[in-house]
Amino acid sequence: MENQTGPTELNATDANRSWRLLGMSALLIACIVGACSHVTEPITTSDQSPTDAASTDDASDPMLSVNTLLPAPEDFALTRIGSHDFPIPPHAKYLEGVRICIDPGHGGDAHKHGYKRGPTGVREAEMNLRVAQYLRDLLVHVGAEVKLTREGDNDLSLADRAKVADDWDADLFISCHHNATNNTEANRTTVWYHGTVDDRPDNLDLARHLCEGLFDSLQIPQLTGIPLKSDQLMYESGFGVLRAANKTAALCETSFYTNPEEEQRLRDPEYNLREAYGMFMGLARYAAGGLPTASIKPADDESPSQRTPRTLVFQLDDGLRSRNAWGSDRSMILKDSIAVRIDGERVPHEFSADTYELNITIPDRIESGEHNATVQFENMFKHANTTPNFAITVD
């Protein structure tokens, strides 16, 4: 399938047949080298830390090899963006100015024998990075601002990955992964969010759109009945990278590299770009429906007669009104969706549909000092605001 300029372009039937043959060959090779037994993760690979096996510098060992993907021509993604296979929809323009931090999972682990590799030794860290880079190319093309947590084959702690997004003040944080299991026939898409469905509805919005985009783009035949998964299904405290994320965040486990056929597809730059394109299309749909926000209005914006020491005023933004389209003068915030909590306890509020101001009178039962305030609401597309948590001081 490979020539001097990259993978040969095949039609869908030929490509699937070729990948199937490669997959069968891959499984045979894996059995010969004894790689089939290396996977121990039950479901997902994003937060595992198995004990390192003894490493060696033997370059002939496929379970220690580096650069396990098929080579891609220079500017591979850039030359295909906007083509018949990867068209840019008009609504992608709403991604302009959105700050997106992409986290290619893992990295710096080639010396760990068999660590997060497919049956023939293809490394998850490499496919994660290439997909993240292609996703960046797509997003930058339409004016989004993008930052990767890593650019090379190096590792960061889970907390440091989330910190990159926080320090850069990202709007969205996406962690790119691929899955593993002992069942070599398994191959399906899941997207993970932190905690419960009530904790951060904005995380569900991001996860849902990413998942739908991947469904449309890759069309992996196998399905799980509930593709959006809480990270607490794996760990009581969730995935470290999502637990540490303050920004709107989701983690993609796009497919299973432990499936021999899928492992070979994941080596192919065309398939990597197809995966990135699915994420891009999901993000474009997400942005088209608006990314609502909330912010605390500075005290100077109100005269003393309008504000007391135990009053907070938030400015809500539905993510749509600034487009100045017909109907933008009407309220596009679902009034009944507004919820305000201080330290987890709901408090009363008043909302102006004209000014989008949210006034909160802090109850006397809440003592003076530092507190956490949460403001949540949805716009007409049922998109929740992406900045729900605030540190406040009560006098």
Instruction: Per-residue pLDDT tens, the chain, 395 aa: give them.
Output: 333 333 333 344 444 444 555 555 544 444 443 433 333 334 444 554 433 333 334 558 999 999 999 999 999 999 999 999 999 999 999 999 999 999 999 999 999 999 999 999 999 999 999 999 999 999 999 999 999 999 999 999 999 999 999 999 999 999 999 999 999 999 999 999 999 999 999 999 999 999 999 999 999 999 999 999 999 999 999 999 999 999 999 999 999 999 999 999 999 999 999 999 999 999 999 999 999 999 999 876 554 445 556 899 999 999 999 999 999 999 999 999 999 999 999 999 999 999 999 999 999 999 999 999 999 999 999 999 998 999 999 98
CB 136 within 8 A of CB 176: no
Which of 231, 265, 288 lies at the terminal end of a domain, its last residue? 288
Enter the pTM of the model: 0.85
Inside any domain, residue 7: no
pLDDT one-digit tens code per residue, 1-42:
333 333 333 344 444 444 555 555 544 444 443 433 333 334
Residues 207 and 136 reside in one and the same domain: yes
The verdict on 157 and 299 lying in the same domain is no
Q: Which two tokens stand for residue 283?
A: 């993000």
Burial of 233-261, coded b for 16+ CB within 10 Å and e otherwise, reads ebeeebbbbbbbbebbbbbbbbbbbbbbb
Q: Within a domain: residue 249? A: yes
Residues 146 and 261 in one domain: yes
Of 238, 261, 288, the residue at which a domain comes to its end is 288
Same domain for 52 and 149?
yes
Tokens encoding 114: 């068999």
Within 13 Å and on the Cβ side, how many CA atoms surround 82? Answer: 8
Give yes or no: residues 279 and 363 share one domain. no
pLDDT at position 383: 99
Whether 1 maps to a domain, the answer reads no
Q: Which domain holds residue 341?
A: 293-394
Residues 265 and 308 in one domain: no
Whether residue 188 sits in one domain with residue 39: yes
61 part of a folded domain = yes
Q: Is residue 93 part of a domain?
A: yes
8 located within any domain: no
CATH code assigned at 371:
2.60.40.1220
Residue 177, domain member (yes or no):
yes
Q: How many CA atoms lie within 13 A of 252 on its CB side?
A: 33
Q: Considering its fold, how many domains does the chain have in total?
A: 2
Q: Using an 8 Å Cβ cutoff, are 172 and 98 in contact?
A: yes
Q: Which of 288, 314, 331 is the last residue of a domain?
A: 288
Contact (CB, 8 A) for 174 and 191:
no
Residues 276 and 375 in one domain: no
Phi and psi for 364 in degrees, rounded to 5? -60, -25
The answer on 318 and 183 residing in a single domain is no
Virtual torsion, Cα 95, 220, 147, 383, nearest 10 deg: 40
| Same domain, residue pair 30 and 161 | yes
**Domain annotation covers residue 127:** yes
Looking at every residue in the chain, the average pLDDT score rounds to 88
- Same domain membership, residue 302 and residue 241: no
Q: For the domain that residue 135 is a member of, what is the CATH number?
A: 3.40.630.40
User: Looking at the structure, do residues 135 and 275 belong to the same domain, yes or no?
Assistant: yes
Residue for token digits 């490669």?
A: 22
